Amino acid sequence: MKNFFLLWGLMFGMALSDVISAAEVVGNVRFVSGGLMAQRVDGTAKVMGAKADVQLGDMLVTASDSYAQVVMNDGTKMILRPSSNLKIEGYQFNQQDPKSDSAIFRLLKGGFRTVTGLIGKRGNPDAYKLRSSGATIGIRGTDFTSRLCGATDCLDEALKTPAKKITPAPKAVGRVMQIQGEMSAKDVSGKVRKLTLGSPVFEGDTLQAAAQSNGVVMFRDGGRITLQQNSDFVVEAFKYDKNNAGQDNIALRLLKGGVRVVTGLIGHVNHDNYKFRLSGATIGIRGTGFDAWCNGPCADGSANFGATQENPLAGAGVFVWSGEVALMSATGSVNVSVNQAAIISRETGNAVQVNSLPDSIKNNPVPKPDSVSGDAESTFEEVPRNGEAGVYVSVHEGQVILENGGSRLDLGQNESGFTDGAVTTRLSDTPQFLLRDNKLDQIGKSSMFNSGINSNGCLVAP
């Protein structure tokens, strides 16, 4: 520690700071354990303690075995790990002018964990960026950890430190491939998160599309859906292993609204393991493209959830545009082929063919899910990495976009990514060196690491 301060004193002790105008204050130091220095744009170096001002252009440097927490003016909170260099390249925050928000940080060494504040959550969603080793990380309302690994430091750390026992994070079973308007997902605990392009979808999620909105989701087996506006759709179960097809299992449920569906490998190979439900009806799948709807009494959860021949969309029904399905109720079933539709009859409760198809069924303006390019293998590709040189990012909450050259990788909650300039990839597991820092975890879990934003989206005093 003594050598750390001595080195900085020798390098910058002769700087003439008295002739330089004061730089803009963009945050302050909340906590320091060990040594923290700031290299200023005027060439001076300042030893930083709690409550010290952080200025635009500062290079923040932590000593070995040192940690520091910095709080920015917009409420962003960052914890720097030991031997880290983080530069504040750009920062603009005006409480009254969200469109002017901008935050650009550069990680030159080490790593840090961040819970973002107002920048990136209002105005421009691309306003918050982290740059490191040629990569650009776009941050959108996120809690994430980033680490820049050299040739050996992370590898050495991975070898020296005992593995940390953790509960594996759930794997994404689907991913948003296209979105228009607003979509969200509610997990099994009731927590709601916004969906954007590339967002992961997990088993148990309830997907919701708002008015004037729709989105395409691809699943691991290659199946896809387009969720239509004002619709709720549940991924009740999804088990898929391309190396063990006998254990595959999918259960999907449309709660209300409409959805367009293309089945994947499970729907083609294991028909009986693919369940699609709407209210009290089930659609039997035979490798198919179809539209399903659940409106009126079906969406309300009524015991009689059927529709009528005069208005087949006012209840539960299905229209087939590829392959064949069977619409099944408690009293029987009816086969439905291409360009045919069937409903649950409101009068009898039976599954019956629709006698005359209205244009609103035949000419659905919402894109078919297979109209969006992409394949499941590349979309869900995951590779192991455990300390090779490059930039690592692990997302605890929110979304991160990792870009390097022409490569773009969307990472959601519980996902990790890596880039070394040549390869940008999603990781099969979060590396141990991102998980084993107990000190970082302790600071991160403390109350002072909560974002400085209240439930109304306003800054609160520290």
pLDDT tens-place string over residues 114-165: 999 999 888 788 899 999 988 999 988 789 999 999 988 888 877 776 666 6
Torsion angles phi and psi, residue 377, rounded to 5: -60, -50
297 in Cβ contact with 304 (< 8 Å) = yes
User: How does pLDDT run across 5-57, given as a tens digit for each residue?
Assistant: 555 454 444 343 443 445 799 999 999 999 999 999 999 999 999 999 999 99
Widest CA span in the chain: 92
Considering the chain, tell me which residue range(s) the CATH 2.60.120.1440 domain(s) occupy. 2-168+382-449, 174-371
427 in Cβ contact with 418 (< 8 Å) = yes
| Spatial distance between the Cα atoms of 219 and 380, rounded to a whole number of angstroms | 9
| Spatial distance between the Cα atoms of 277 and 298, rounded to a whole number of angstroms | 11
End-to-end CA, the chain: 29
Share of the chain above pLDDT 70, in %: 88
| Spatial distance between the Cα atoms of 172 and 199, rounded to a whole number of angstroms | 9
Whose structure tokens read 């367009």? 260
* Radius of gyration in angstroms for the set of CA atoms belonging to the chain, rounded to a whole number: 27
**CATH architecture of the domain covering 174-371:** Sandwich (2.60)
Long-range contacts made by residues 18-21, C-beta under 8 angstroms, separation at least 24?
Answer: 20/44
Give helix then strand counts, H and E, for the chain.
7, 32
User: How does pLDDT run across 301-314, given as a tens digit for each residue?
Assistant: 999 999 999 999 99
Query: CATH code for 2-168+382-449?
Result: 2.60.120.1440
106 in Cβ contact with 77 (< 8 Å) = no
| Spatial distance between the Cα atoms of 280 and 329, rounded to a whole number of angstroms | 7
Q: Measuring CA to CA, how many Å separate 386 from each of 155, 391, 433?
A: 7, 11, 8
- Binning pLDDT at 50, 70 and 90, where does residue 168 land? confident
| Spatial distance between the Cα atoms of 394 and 36, rounded to a whole number of angstroms | 24
